[in-house]
Amino acid sequence: MNLKKKVIKNKENDYEKMGGAVEAMRNVVRQFRLGNLPSPEFSLDDLEDYCRHLMDIQEDNGTWTVAARPEQLAEDELVEFVAYPTFIALGALVMIEEFLPDRECPGKEEVLSKGFSAIRLEGYGEDSLFQIIEMILIFIEAGVPPWLKSRRDEPGYNNTALKLISFRDKLQSRLDAGDTILPFGGDYRPIFELVVSGLSVL
């Protein structure tokens, strides 16, 4: 298990390296969910450091990115190299809080609130439903929906919960209508059902 303890932004906006950085972020969440963290090579102290690192590299607009110059990215590239890292970083911070409640990262609540306020589930261009589903599945894997439910009285978090509820209801309507074939082919009914189930706690 070779986990990266820092998110490395690529100075040249090299797509292959940026994709590797996103996958490295995702792997931390994945190993958390599998129960492999903390571990001898990724200790409690390392997780604290990772928490502070994610906080330090949050962009001014509340997002996270693996690109040194995100303003140069095309619309579809923003999904992969800004939106995905944002969902993953938020998921990781939520999991760190859930699994290590006694470990403090001062200022984390402000970072989380700012990050969740930056979440978008639209505006990613045509045929972006698959990418949005992928992002929501990251939240589900990280245990974000029940975490958000516990904070429904806080405006920043409640707004994100409402966005997820609206998206869940749209998927349910498509399930009810049998409209589960995406434009590029394939029946996504099982994936739709997985997302609806994962968001049902909200």
Residue pointed to by tokens 């929906």: 145
* pTM (global) more than 0.85: yes
Decide which of 100 and 94 is more confident.
94
Read off the pLDDT band of 44 (50, 70, 90): confident
Q: What is the pLDDT of residues 165-199, one digit of tens each?
A: 999 999 999 999 999 998 877 899 999 999 999 99
Boundaries of every domain in the chain:
15-143
Q: What is the pLDDT of residue 125?
A: 62
Q: What is the pLDDT of residue 154?
A: 85
Contacts of 182 (CB under 8 A, 6+ apart): 127, 129, 130, 188
Residue 1 pLDDT greater than 70, yes or no: no
Q: Is residue 116 a contact partner of residue 154, using CB atoms and an 8 Å limit?
A: no
Share of the chain above pLDDT 70, in %: 96
Q: What is the pLDDT of residue 59?
A: 96
Q: What is the pLDDT of residue 183?
A: 80
| Section 54-62 average pLDDT | 96
Q: What is the pLDDT of residues 73-87, one digit of tens each?
A: 888 888 999 999 999
Q: What is the pLDDT of residue 126?
A: 58
Closest CA to 157 of 170, 168, 146, 142: 146
CA 103 remoteness from chain centre? 21
Read off the pLDDT band of 100 (50, 70, 90): confident
Contacts of 179 (CB under 8 A, 6+ apart): none
93 vs 121: CA distance, rounded Å:
20
Across the chain, mean pLDDT equals: 91
